[in-house]
Structure 1
Amino acid sequence: MVSALTTDATVRPWRTAARWLCALGLALAAAAPVNAATPLMIWPVDPMITEEQQAVAVWVENRGVAAVSLQVRVMDWSQTEGEEFLSSQKEVVASPPISVIPPGKRQLVRLIASQPVPPELEVAYRVLIDELPAPDDQSGSPTQDETGMGIRLKVRYAIPLFVYGRGAQPFRATHSQAQRGSKGKPLPPDLTWNTVKDGKAHRLVVRNKGKGHARITAVRWGTRAPRPDVTINEGLMGYVLPNSLMRWELEAPPPGDPVLKANINGHETLVPRGE
């Protein structure tokens, strides 16, 4: 589900990455349209571009009773030492970048890879869909960041976008889910986990040494003893990009002799413990 949130109009490292991901509501259903907190529906919620495509379409439907103005941008997405970073880029463009959708209508936005990704690589982006206030909407006052950008944003939606170079394609849990017609090799993640204690807080650290991203959902502790699993996160925990790591604060310390179970890119997985 893609949900809406009030945004900052500046791009900066998000130091509360786990809470940011939760706020974006990225427990995404792979094929279903998504109804957000406002009357907008956005689908697909997991767009990808392979060498056979060079572009992908995203639909935005206005199910409200008033016209909605939107701005669509594509940002480079990276992770460094457990933090999320977005930055400007020119490799992927959105067309049209700005549109007005009348009530009951839908708008097609094409995400176009203007430059090829290096062979056998996956590159991650975030698609930011900003709902702009109507010209007569004077409610609220802009923040300092928003004033500096010259615009006051009303609502932001964000979805991931992955672009693949020649000889690569998205990793799927089963062969039947592979991209049809693609000649590339799937790029799977390679995950390990550990826990660290930071003061009184316990954090789960997941490292990805693979060439493809990991979408982590339904995370839980198991034990080698015959006891029920302990849920960590029922929905989406987050993403770990290739050659990156992410940290999430745990509500409780891990049980004794724990094993980590999770759904990784649609596949139930027992994640090995790292050193």
Structure 2
Amino acid sequence: MKLILHSLAGILLLFLPNIVAAQSLAVSPTKLEVPTGASQTSLTVKADGGGAAVLQMRVMSWREGQDPNKLKPTRDVVVSPPVAKLKPRQELTVRIVRTKKRAVRRRECYRVLVDRLPDRRTNGQVVKLQVRHSLPLCFSS
């Protein structure tokens, strides 16, 4: 019985790359703390997997200590570039800048969303997942 199960598992593994398109995304650092007086920071994003990766990056307003899914759009902080296409295992340094004119009072927090969008070119029976990183970003006064 074990031999049959192991044989079936082996056969399944042969066909698995055609069923699931593995995509991953590495982000560093995972928490962004901008020191007093500074208005910018950077983030490194690395795409892993077999194909090119299309990334979308945004900054959303967020209150520290609240649910990280409770976000509001903002223009107080921007990310550059907001969209990028990376080759497999390529790294990208993303710049994050606070554009708000008023000085930081106490502590201002945001979330940086980095999405790896599903590849639209794949056909057939492939599982397509969107990979998202949501990173805390805080400016101190």
RMSD: 2.7
Alpha carbons of structure 1 residues 68 and 119: separation in structure 2 relative to 1, 3 Å: closer
Q: Are the counterparts in 2 of residues 131 and 155 from structure 1 also a CA contact under 8 Å? A: yes
Matched, 1:122 2:107: yes
Report the CA distance between 1:153 and its aligned residue. Answer: 7.2
Q: How does 1:32-181 map to 2 (within 5 A)?
A: 38-78=23-63, 85-116=70-101, 118-137=103-122, 154-164=130-140, 168=141
What is aligned with 1:189?
none
Does the CA-based 8 Å contact 1:117-1:123 persist in structure 2? no
The CA distance in 1 between the partners of 2:112 and 2:24, in whole Å, is 19
Distance 1:92 1:70 in 2: 18
**For the residues of structure 2 that align with 1:38 and 1:110, how far apart are their CA atoms?**
23
Task: State the AA in 2 paired with 1:50.
Answer: P
For residue 7 of structure 2, what is the aligned residue in structure 1?
Answer: none
* 1:138 shift after superposition: 5.4
Q: CA deviation at 1:62?
A: 1.7
Distance 1:88-1:120 versus aligned 2 partners, 3 A rule? closer
Return 5+ residue gaps in structure 2 as ranges. 1-21
Aligned residues: 117
What TM-score do the two structures reach when normalised by structure 2? Answer: 0.70
**Conserved? CA contact 1:70–1:100, under 8 Å:** yes
The alpha-carbon distance between structure 1 residues 128 and 139, as it changes in their structure 2 partners (threshold 3 A), is farther
C-alpha contact (below 8 Å) 1:49/1:162 kept by paired residues: yes
Query: Where do 4+ consecutive residues of structure 1 move more than 3 Å?
Result: 116-120, 137-140
CA distance in 1, matches of 2:130, 2:40: 28
Change (3 A) 1:98 1:118: same
1:116-169 superposed Cα distances (whole Å, 9 cap, x missing partner) = 4544410111111111122313578xxxxxxxxxxx9722111110012xxx3x
CA contact (8 A) 1:45 1:159 kept: yes
Instruction: Give the 3-state SS of the residue equivalent to 2:71 in structure 1.
Output: strand
3-state SS in 1 of match to 2:62: strand
1:153 to 1:98, Cα distance in 2 relative to 1, 3 A = farther
Q: Secondary structure at the match of 2:31?
A: coil
Identical columns (%)? 28
Deviations 1:208-257 (A, max 9, x none): xxxxxxxxxxxxxxxxxxxxxxxxxxxxxxxxxxxxxxxxxxxxxxxxxx
- Which has the larger helix fraction? 2
Please give the alpha-carbon distance, in whole angstroms, between the structure 1 residues aligned to 2:24 and 2:84.
16
Provide closer, same or farther for how the CA distance between residues 78 and 120 of structure 1 changes in structure 2, counting only shifts above 3 A: closer
